[in-house]
Amino acid sequence: MLKRMPRGARAVLAGAVTAVALAAGGVAAFAQGGTPPTLTLAFGADGKLTFSGAEGIVGKAATVAVSSADPKKKAEHAAALVRLEPGVTPEQFAAAAAKAKSFEDIEGVGVIDSFVGAPPKGAPPQTSVTKIVAGATYVVLDFSGEQPIPVGTFVAGKVSPSVKLPTVDFSTSVKEYKFTAKTLPRKGTIRITNRGKQYHEMIGFHVRKGVDPKSIVGRLQQGKEPKKGTTDGEAFLLAPVGPGAVNQAEFTIERGTYVFTCFLPDSKGRPHSTQGMNKVISVK
């Protein structure tokens, strides 16, 4: 079942992160009124995932927040929210997921709508994304290990057309095999929409001064990692999410030149980076 722990998620969890999604706050112009309600996903001291607040988020824009009280595995926990396709039951999803080897294998059954890593040591106590949660059955997955564990389900009814996501400082999108952003701000709230038909992620290599970013693009295109010493850390703006997913969160990233890439595979198993999904983006 979905054996591969996504690289982006792993790195987010490892804390080598310049972009950390913080708890959403300071929300303005929020059409449903007030601060979005929160679905809380909490890893306990025993490492077990529980969730609460689902009844309050149905048919609304909501914040999905993940926290961890596990002293041992703080840097390892992640949770995912799976949106089931119409008519699919949680049991059918569990059966399909048990056989799946990659995200694409659950196509037609469910879509990972958000993937949120628990905060690493020293980071703010919770990470979160804000999104509209409506019109589907959702499965909460504990994605900490190689075997994701379904923790529970909830049903979200139709959303009123007047419900909108809180405003953000910056919106961008991903699709096959492109990032639409040309520049990114250094910090703020960002909305990232997957407008494609495949899963995508958004990982940025911070290019070291004096290095030609095109040389890094060239290596990624050939299926290689950037050469040692050519990058200064990585930024993870989007963990793997499926088609139609819209996530927004606060982020902070160091200024400079980045090469953004996506390592998720296409239907033939080729990383998107080798299909041209690499882009030089400056952070101002």
- Binding residues (CB under 5 A) for Cu ion: these are 200, 262, 264, 272
Shortest spacing between CB 156 and Cu ion, in angstroms: 26
User: In whole angstroms, what is the distance from residue 228 CA to residue 79 CA?
Assistant: 31
Closest alpha carbon to 66 in 83, 87, 49: 49
Closest alpha carbon to 223 in 262, 257, 258: 262
Q: Give the DSSP per-residue string, 246-259.
A: EEEEEEE--SEEEE
Shortest spacing between CB 55 and Cu ion, in angstroms: 34
Shortest spacing between CB 240 and Cu ion, in angstroms: 8
Shortest spacing between CB 147 and Cu ion, in angstroms: 24
Nearer to Cu ion, 128 or 172 (CB): 172
Shortest spacing between CB 214 and Cu ion, in angstroms: 20
Shortest spacing between CB 280 and Cu ion, in angstroms: 17
User: In whole angstroms, what is the distance from residue 144 CA to residue 183 CA?
Assistant: 32
Inter-residue contact 110 to 141 (CB < 8 Å): no
Tokens representing residue 74 in the block? 């703080």
User: What residue type is assigned to position 21 of the chain?
Assistant: A
Nearer to Cu ion, 176 or 232 (CB): 176
User: In whole angstroms, what is the distance from residue 48 CA to residue 28 CA?
Assistant: 34
Rg of the chain over Cα atoms, rounded to whole angstroms, equals 18
What values do phi and psi take at 129, rounded to 5? -130, 150
Residue nearest to Cu ion (CB): 262
Nearer to Cu ion, 262 or 281 (CB): 262
Nearer to Cu ion, 18 or 278 (CB): 278
Write down the residue that tokens 């990233």 correspond to. 253
Nearer to Cu ion, 100 or 264 (CB): 264
Nearer to Cu ion, 7 or 200 (CB): 200
